[in-house]
Chains A and B, each alone.
Chain A
Amino acid sequence: MSQKIILIVEDEKDIRKNLKKILEMEGYLVEQAENGKEALAILHSSTSLPAMIILDLMMPVMDGFEFRDQQEKIPKIATIPIAIMTADDHIDEKKMRIRAAAAMKKPASIQTILDTVKRIAG
């Protein structure tokens, strides 16, 4: 079985860096984007699609909500599940609104992150 790919969409470099390390340690392949626009570009050009997307909500250029709207319009990538990660309140509301498979509140523990990824991406 080939390695599962996880796409991280997050504008904070350090958080991205750390997430990447954590996931790679668990044996996942990690792709990263700084904002929604970049994420769409990566998905458009990749041959193998990620098993899930970890999505930050507050990003410049294109935020998480906009990205999700765009993602659902493109059949090729529409079905990729997302887990949102955000420091905001009303996380459950947002989870429902954006139709996420999971929601993680910043700062999330490593265990939480790994459990969530395991559950959704396998």
Chain B
Amino acid sequence: MNTPRSNESPPHDGQQLQPTAGKSVVQNERIFRLLVDAVDEYAIFALDAEGNILTWNQGAHRLKGYSAEEVIGTHFSRFYTKVDIDRRHPQHELEIAIEKGKYEEEGWRVRKDGTTFWANVVITALRDETGKLQGFGKVTRDLTARRNAELRLRESEERFRLMVESVQDYAIFMLDPKGHITTWNLGAERNKGYSASEIIGKHFSIFYPEKDQIAEKPKWELEEAIKNGRFEDEGFRVRKDGETFWANVIITPVFTKNRDLLGFAKVTRNLTERKLAEEALREANADLEKKVDLRTKELSASKARAEAAVKSRDEFFSMASHELKTPLSALMMQSQLREFKISRGDFSDFKHDQLAELCADDMRQIQRLVDLIDRMLDVSRLSIGQFELDVEIADLAEIVKDVVRRLTPTLGASGNQILLSAPESLVAQLDRLRIEQVVSNLLTNAGKYAPGKPVSVSVQAEGQMAKIFIRDQGGGISKDKQEIIFEPFERLKERGGVGGLGLGLYITKKIVAAHGGSIRVESSDQSGSTFVVELPLASKKVVGNS
């Protein structure tokens, strides 16, 4: 800490510093010298009138790297860069100091080791009482650190500004304390449609719908932001072209270190797309759900129908195959038996008076098969809508008499006597074969379900209708069954019958309906049933070919 002075004696140890007021000039000077010397942050030194260095201090040593011996007596321009020296800058500084009394600048200075530093320099012209120039006082401050910090700050600010500017999706901008727009970014331009030059300086309430402006909502939002430290809202905002969009807005007040309001930072996010997307999604979902529901219901119904149909069909098939096997088994056994006998040379069954019966036996089974298959075909045709009547003018009375005649032996075999009551003739338009089928079916049923008891058949005309009554004395049909017996595959166990496909009445009803007529059963007690068929005399259906 030894800094030699040109012509002063250094204070020796133990000598205390005294307050200067009232002291001698010499003592004051000594204190000042100590003061200057002790300062190590600033280089404070004196130059003579030509610019040679007269004094030095710790700060100067620290700053410039030279010790006092090295510099005292040398010219101060050694601290300048070559460039400055070449352009006579040091001398220039002195000239200005002389002229103006002081010169201040910031610039590069050179250290002893050749490195440069950024300095703040003040040169003061020192004059005596007469005003004669004695020399210069120089105070130099190292601003490198500060300058670097400033540069870094500027750089980082620049980076930040660029970042904010380039964000496209969010409008990020600043307002002054009154709400005027001071900055702008790409996102803001995109969102709101204004370019920076168009919008800076304007009040931010321009973005608000008219009703909000009238209600002074923008002003209120700023106040809220200050009160609560931030303000967030979702609402409509207005673009430059007048279109509105749904926005999420956050306003944050910005304060200086002194708690002065610098302004507000505003971040606006366009939620319109998101909102629309959400809505669309919600709608689509709801729609989809509805559709799925509907479709599920439809499918369930279809499935149920299909399952029922398959079940029906399966039952039909199993019953049909069962029914078909019966006459086939009989035929087969008959044939096999004959073969068997022939193979044993037994011709006792084949005498010519027995041959007729053999044929009749076969024919009976074959006819059963044929009938069965015909019924199955009918049902199939009914279901695919191919059921057509061949309507002609015919005598219903004659048809009924025919059928009765034909079935008398069969019914006789099961003990059913047929009692017929019919007029001479009853002309109507109908499908002869199909009506025969109807009468035949009803008669056969009566015989099957009421063996041993008489069956009465009567035919009559009543106004525009022909009526056929077939009455048996069987067990009767209960009320709840009276409807379903006309449905396909329905057979009444109570009526004792199991044979047949249960299609007879179904087909019968279809035929009657196709003629425009109706069929019903009357059975009040258990004393029997009466089937009543009504047919219009004049066909209500397609008039066929005769």
A87 and B330 contact, Cβ closer than 8 Å, known pairs A14-B361, A59-B498: no
* A109 cross-chain contacts in B, Cβ below 8 A: 332, 336
Total chain B interface residues with beta-carbon distance under 8 A: 23
The answer to the question of B544 belonging to the interface, with a C-beta cut-off of 8 Å to chain A, is: no
The stretch of A19-27, A38-46, A70-78, A95-103 that contacts the partner chain: A19-27
Q: How many A-B residue pairs have CB under 8 A?
A: 57
Query: Given A22-B340, A87-B325, A107-B325 in contact, is the A15-B497 Cβ separation under 8 Å?
Result: no
Contacts A58-B498, A60-B498, A87-B321; is A110 near B336 (CB within 8 Å)?
A: yes
Please state if A106 and B336 are interface contacts (CB–CB under 8 Å).
Answer: no
Whether A14 contacts B322 by the Cβ 8 Å rule is no
Q: Can you offer 20 A-B residue contacts whose CB atoms are under 8 A?
A: A12-B326, A12-B329, A12-B330, A14-B330, A14-B334, A14-B361, A14-B364, A15-B326, A15-B330, A22-B337, A22-B340, A25-B341, A59-B498, A61-B496, A63-B498, A87-B321, A106-B329, A107-B325, A107-B332, A109-B336
Quick check: B333 and A58 within 8 Å, CB to CB?
Answer: no
CB distance from B236 to the nearest CB of A (A): 75
Interface string of A29-70 (1 = CB under 8 A from B): 000000000000000000000000000001111010000000
Q: Is B318 an interface position by the 8 A CB rule?
A: yes
Closest B residue to A58 by CB, please name it: B498
Query: What are the nearest 6 A-B pairs in CB distance?
Result: A87-B325, A107-B329, A14-B330, A18-B333, A107-B332, A106-B329
Whether the Cβ atoms of A60 and B496 lie closer than 8 Å is yes
A87 in complex: contacting residue of B322, B331, B365, B497, CB < 8 Å:
B322
Residues 286 to 332 of chain B near chain A (Cβ within 8 Å): 318, 321-322, 325-326, 328-332
Instruction: Give B contacts to A, CB under 8 Å.
Output: 318, 321-322, 325-326, 328-334, 336-337, 340-341, 361, 364-365, 496-499
B333 to chain A, nearest CB (A): 4
Chain A nearest CB from B493 CB (Å) reads 9
CA distance A60 to B331 in the complex (A): 22
SS class of chain B's interface: helix, strand, loop or mixed?
helix
Q: Which residue of B lies closest to A19 (CB)?
A: B333
| Residues of A bordering B, CB below 8 Å | 11-12, 14-15, 18-19, 21-22, 25, 58-61, 63, 87-89, 106-110
User: Once bound together, how far apart are the Cα atoms of A15 and B368, in whole Å?
Assistant: 14
Assess whether A18 is in contact with B496, with CB atoms less than 8 Å apart. no
When distances are taken between beta carbons in the complex, the residues of chain B under 8 Å from A87 are 321-322, 325-326, 329
* A87-B326, A106-B325 known; A14-B365 Cβ under 8 A: yes
Q: Which residue of A lies closest to B334 (CB)?
A: A18
User: Chain A residues near B329 (CB, 8 Å)?
Assistant: 12, 15, 87, 106-108
Residue picked from B321, B325, B331, B341, most chain A C-beta under 10 Å: B325
Contacting residues, chain A, for B333 (C-beta < 8 A): 14-15, 18-19, 22, 107, 110
Residue of A nearest to B362 (CB): A14
A79 → chain B, closest Cβ, in Å?
Answer: 29
Most B Cβ at <10 Å: residue of A14, A21, A108: A14
A60 touches B325 (CB 8 A): no
Given the complex, which residues of A lie within 8 Å of B341, measured CB to CB? Answer: 25
